[in-house]
A = this chain, B = another copy of it.
Amino acid sequence: MFPSTITSDLEKPFSPDGRADMIRVGVIGYGYWGPNIVRNLHGLDNTRVEMVCDKSPAALAHARKSYPGLATTSDPCEVLRSPQIDAVAVITPVWTHYELAKAALENGKHVFVEKPFTSSAVQAEELIELAARKKLTIMVDHTFLFTGAVRKIRELVDRGDLGDLYYYDSLRVNLGLFQHDVSVIWDLAPHDLSIMDHLIRKEPEAIVATGEKHLNGVEDVAFMTIYFPQNVIAHINVNWLSPVKIRTTLIGGQKKMLVWNDLVADEKVRVYDKGVQISAGEGIRDLLVSYRTGDMWAPQIEQTEALRVELGYFVDCIMNNKMPFNDGHAGLRVVRMLEAAECSIQKRGELIRL
């Protein structure tokens, strides 16, 4: 239901039954990702960027140059307390998410929070509880869920095309070491964990993580295995020290298997009519193996910018009192897995139950 919902709802005129017909957003953080948030909010019909906040005067000058007339401030409180603002987008480093989101919620504002949601599960739980109490919306920016590729894969999974899932295996590596105080797991794996969570839709049972530090005291290479019920297994390989950029995910199901290569322009998702079946033979050792190899099929993928779809969905959820699927709970599930992975990696692969 998800993709059709998003798309169709975005088209709908908003009925004038007392609901707001314009959402005014304050954006805190205008560094690497903030400008994309502002640009996409700017492009939505029923939304206005009311104010942008950043500590850097240069960032604010850049924002004003791009959007003349835009109010800017270096004080987050101006955004958090403004009566002109309905929702706050928190696009800052992870260690600030909890405090800023909490203040926003306490001031009665909906929040859109950059991933990962918070630095700890405890913080995430508190924010979820607070938002529920205040009847406010939390959306965690799991942008990839809104790409054409993930929406198509989810559709294939939901339709049963792949059959029962066997495994989810993702490789996300490149040369880059942007973070000083979080490891490659907290930097890159939230993407994979949120996608995995969205596609597998089972509660993970346990995590094993390994990795190594080579440069600045945090892991720059890491590997995670996530165990799910019914023999479903996920594996995530993240690496800041790869000479080449790779973004490839293999998903194996009982009926079909697919490869998602996010770096190619066309045919990002390739579905293979391939599989293996085992049946018992006569003797005790006689397993009959039959392979099936057939055509490959690359469905057309929608090209709309994911962040635009997501922010439109955020505004729609606020206006229509809908619970987003990438809500605080989705954010919490990812943070719990990050915590478990961090714990496991410190203990060199010890199984951490979730």
Chain A interface residues (CB < 8 Å from chain B) = 68-69, 166-167, 169, 171, 173, 175-177, 180-181, 206, 208, 210-216, 220-221, 223, 225, 227, 231-233, 235, 237, 239-245, 250, 252, 256-259, 263, 265-267, 270, 272, 274, 276-278, 285, 287, 289, 291, 293-300, 344, 347-351
Contacts and interface: CB of A to CB of B under 8 A. Distances in A.
B208 A208 contact: yes
Nearest to A221: B167
B244 A272 contact: yes
Contacts of A272: 243-244
Given A295-B298, A297-B298, 5 more contacts: A210-B235, A215-B276, A241-B276, A243-B259, A344-B349
9 contacts: A167-B239, A171-B171, A181-B285, A210-B233, A240-B276, A243-B256, A245-B266, A295-B298, A295-B299
Number of copies: 4
A80 to B, nearest CB: 26
Given A295-B297, A350-B351, A231 B213 contact: yes
Nearest to A286: B180
Contacts of A227: 210, 212, 348
Contacts of A349: 208, 225, 344, 349-351
Which interface residue of A213, A225, A291, A294 has the most chain B CB atoms within 10 A?
Answer: A225
